[in-house]
Structure 1
Amino acid sequence: MSNVKVAVIYYSMGGTNYQLARWAEEGAKEAGAEVKVFKVKELAPQSVIDANPNWKSLVEKTKDVPEVTSADLEWADAFIFSAPTRFGNMPSQLKQFFDTLGGIWSEGKLVNKVVSAMSSAQNPHGGQEATILSIYTTMYHWGAIVVTPGYTDPVTFQAGGNPYGTSVTVDENGKMVEHVEGAVKHQAKRTVTVAGWIKKGNQ
């Protein structure tokens, strides 16, 4: 399935979803996909970022990661989104990006793309599932094909058992509570596998 192209798209403040994105990249590459990692454009004022050492450090660390554009979505056969929860919804940065895609959506360029999503929060029930579902709601409008991990591998249970997409709890020190690397990689590989089936069928 080396002909499958995957865009891993993330938003991150403290680094959690950046790490999830990198694990997804590794998993998709292990499945034979061509993978590109993108971040969504930051909307927060620089003064706010500068006041948070961890946030400022991540911005510097990821300065060479390209910002995602509509052309990147056209390029990809599959998308893997990773974003923290904001009161049970996706962050405004990701929503703003989605809101710019009316042009390629109206042209049918997002139809039959394969999509999966991941999330994080500071509590075990902090809105991760609702955030993933909020991302999927947009995908339904695109005519995209949502691929969840479900319970297709025991690694999902080890990571907390979220069937909608891998999610993780982050403690007060910014550390991940659950061990989710394996679950992220499984989710990415499953996304590549299904995208390969669909791409082959369309050809």
Structure 2
Amino acid sequence: MGKGGGCVPSKKKHPTSAEDAAGTSNNTAPIAADEETHATPTVTESSENAQSVAAALEVFIVFYSMYGHVEKLAKRMKKGVEGVEGVEAVLYRVPETLPDEVPKIKAEELAVADAILFGFPTRYGCMAAQMKAFFNSTGQLWKEQTLVGKPAGFFYLSNKSFYKLVFQLLQALSRDNDKDKYCLQFELRPVKESNWTAITQLAHHRMLFVPIGYTFGDDMSKIDFIHGGSPYGAGVYAGDGTREPIEIELAVAEHQGKYMAGVANRLSQG
């Protein structure tokens, strides 16, 4: 791991205003007022079409973010979800393992979601402990098979050192006719590690994993610069912790939100 690697929080990066230097929250409303985290699910009705009496579909965006990178993806993803008529997004944080006062989602609340997008930073190729602890709390839902058939996806913060190596290798291979082959292998390796370890959570609940594939377009595969995002879902490359999500990473997040909303919409119609 390099200094300030993706497996542990960077010591160079100071916590956002929602967290103090000890990693604890000192703000009960860290998300902007127009997009604040909900303590309980809400239901809205549309008055713009013939189905005004029907409740809107809800896509839960459930994430853990220590320094705000994954949260930025989540907010942009919310915009994508709500770009589909009749679907609304609800932002939730999973409980922090450190003391905090941020509103949290409870496992049983997942039951009312029409679709769920989980976001998290990676730790040694796996989801962060906070997200795993949340999944571990869903035992009653598993016992009752409450989440069976619900569509779900992932977005993540990736390891910085591996992507830096990938970029350097791809530059060195720029004259190789098989450059695209190397790109695919290097680009997907860390993503596969984090996503496949996360997919097991969905498998035990018999949820439906919904990746975005290559529906975003060719821009996601560009290797002119380092960026997150893959066929598995949106992602952000955090560097040493000071790097903020760039537009293509946010655009993929928005696309994933819209894509998931469309899937939820089609499933609701049978």
In 2, distance between residues paired with 1:10 and 1:18? Answer: 7
1:133-148 matched pairs, under 5 angstroms: 133-148=196-211
Offset from partner CA, 1:149-195 (integer Å, 9 cap, x none): 10012153355561111122112252136531111111111111111
CA shift in 2, pair 1:31/1:153, >3 Å = same
Which residue does the alignment assign to 2:12? Answer: none
Name which of 72, 86, 95 aligns with 1:41.
95
C-alpha separation in 2, matches of 1:113 and 1:157: 29
Shift in alpha-carbon separation, 1:101–1:131, aligned structure 2, 3 A: same
Identity of aligned residues (%): 27
Aligned pairs (5 A) from 1:3-14: 3-14=56-67
**Structure 2: how far apart are the matches of 1:6 and 1:123?**
29
TM-score (norm 1): 0.82
Say how many residue pairs are matched.
184
Letter in 2 for 1:198: L
> Which of 63, 68, 82 in structure 2 is aligned with 1:15?
68
**4+ runs of 1 displaced by more than 4 Å?**
158-161
Per mean C-alpha deviation after superposition, the further-off stretch among 119-128 and 192-201 is 119-128
- CA distance in structure 1 between the aligned counterparts of 2:198 and 2:228, rounded to whole angstroms: 20
Distance (whole Å) between structure 2 residues aligned to residue 92 and residue 161 of structure 1:
22
The question of 1:29 aligning with 2:82 is answered yes
Partner of 1:162: 230
Kindly state the Cα deviation for residue 122 of structure 1 after the two structures are TM-superposed. 3.9
Question: Quick one: which of 242, 245, 255 aligns to 1:174?
Answer: 242
- Stretch of structure 1 that moved more, 72-81 or 149-158: 149-158
Provide the aligned C-alpha RMSD in A: 2.2
Aligned to 2:256: 187
8 Å CA contact 2:70, 2:236 repeated in 1: no
Cα distance 1:163–1:125, how it changes in 2: closer, same or farther (>3 A)?
Answer: farther
1:135 shift after superposition: 1.7
More helix by share: 1
Describe the shift of the 1:70–1:139 C-alpha distance in structure 2 as closer, same or farther (beyond 3 A): same
Counterpart of 2:137 (choices 97, 100, 111) is 100
Moved more, 142-151 or 157-166: 157-166
User: Could you say if the C-alpha distance between residues 161 and 97 of structure 1 is closer, same or farther in structure 2, counting changes exceeding 3 Å?
Assistant: closer
5+ residue gaps, structure 1, are 47-58
CA contact (8 A) 2:153 2:211 kept: yes
Q: Could you tell me which amino acid in structure 2 is paired with residue 192 of structure 1?
A: A
Higher mean alpha-carbon deviation, 152-161 vs 10-19, is at 152-161
Distance of 2:117 and 2:162 partners within structure 1: 22
Change (3 A) 1:124 1:162: farther
Q: In the TM superposition, what are the counterparts of 1:34-113 in structure 2 within 5 Å?
A: 34-44=88-98, 46=99, 66-113=103-150
Which position in structure 1 is the counterpart of 2:181? none
